[in-house]
Amino acid sequence: MGSRLRRIAFAADLLHDVSDARPHIVFLLTSPLAPPRMLAGQCRFLMGKGFRVTVVTAPGPDLEAFGREEGVEVAAVEMAREPSLRADLRSFVGLYKLLRRLRPDVVEAGTPKAGLLGMAAAWLARVPVRVYTLHGLRLETARGPLRLALAAAERLSMRLAHRVLCVSPSLLEHAEELRLLPSGKGTVAASGSANGVDSSRFDAAFRRPPGSRVIGFVGRLTRDKGVEELYTAFCLLRETFPGLKLLLLGDFEAGDPVGPKVRRAIECDTDVARPGFVDDPAPFYADLDILALPSYREGLPGVALEAAAAGRP
């Protein structure tokens, strides 16, 4: 929770010049699945301190559910993860109109698409305080023109922000090395992470019995998450440790997909369990011996903190 409180204190420092007795902060994320992982607890805390809070994502029942659970205002604007000039222009116009109507004091945008469109719309709408949260660098696994385009998008997002909040010191350093982030503009809340971890969610009673071996992975089953490398390593380890299992909590996606041969091998492998996407992975950590996260572009992901809180390396 310390990381979460320091993150909120960082936002409060940026508000020293906002005179409204009830400052309004808008959080922008691309997917309606993101707020429970990235904002749970923050919204209630901020509202308890006198903030008005609005969460904006693409439409979906998960956004509405989050609004009810947190007691927070929500708004939906169509946004797609993958690049599409026409769709992105519509999203930009939608975000701009929404921000002009809400007139917030602070906009915090995270994830690449919401970050770029949100920072641009907030700049055009003259939002007084603009914060871009850098969770990772999608360009890490891209090549050629796509990598150049992603780098340009990140660079623009960071230029339009007043401050850039990185989820780990290493991510901050790397963004500066790539000359995406101007020196002195970035910061890390506490020791990092996007939202911290509530350790009370993990119960020691869920410990697995000795003798079994399970490697776990939580996330989208895509190339940039290192799923191909993970499965290759698993196959090699299985030769030494018979009975080894691989638990994959996540779904295959069309964006940056794993190779078709690897996907077929995973789907046909009886030693690989794939429950798919789960709302709360916490109960599954008790079944793991180790959590593997071979991602190419993560900063300090929440699943690593959750596994540590559950006592899993």
SS (H, E, C) 223-276: HHHCHHHHHHHHHHHHHHCCCCEEEEECCECCCCECCHHHHHHHHHCCCEECCC
Q: Using DSSP, state whether 164 is helix, strand or coil.
A: strand
Q: CATH: 3.30.830.10, 1.10.599.10, 3.10.310.10, 3.40.50.2000. Which one for 199-309?
A: 3.40.50.2000
Show the tokens assigned to 84: 């599409």
Q: What is the pLDDT of residue 51?
A: 93
Nearest of 150, 196, 190 to residue 301 by alpha carbon: 196
Adjacent-strand bridge partners of 129: 106
* pTM for this model (two decimals): 0.62
Average pLDDT over residues 171-182: 88
- CA–CA distance, 166 with 192 (Å, rounded to integer): 7
pLDDT at 52 over 80: yes
Q: Using DSSP, state whether 175 is helix, strand or coil.
A: helix
pLDDT at 47 over 50: yes
Cβ of 73: how many Cβ atoms within 10 Å?
16
Residue found by looking up tokens 């020791």 in the block: 191
Mean pLDDT of the chain: 84
Q: What is the pLDDT of residue 125?
A: 96
Comma-separated ranges of CATH 3.40.50.2000 domains in the chain: 2-188, 199-309
Average pLDDT over residues 177-188: 87
DSSP secondary structure letter of residue 178: T
Q: What is the pLDDT of residue 26?
A: 97
pLDDT at 258 over 60: yes
Q: What is the pLDDT of residue 67?
A: 92
Query: pLDDT tier at 56 (50, 70, 90 boundaries)?
Result: very high
Q: What is the pLDDT of residue 199?
A: 61
Which CATH code for domain 2-188?
A: 3.40.50.2000
Q: What is the pLDDT of residue 127?
A: 96
Average pLDDT over residues 144-154: 89
Query: pLDDT tier at 24 (50, 70, 90 boundaries)?
Result: very high
Nearest of 121, 116, 115 to residue 101 by alpha carbon: 121
pLDDT at 18 over 70: no
Counting every residue, how long is the chain?
313
Q: What is the pLDDT of residue 168?
A: 86
pLDDT at 234 over 90: yes
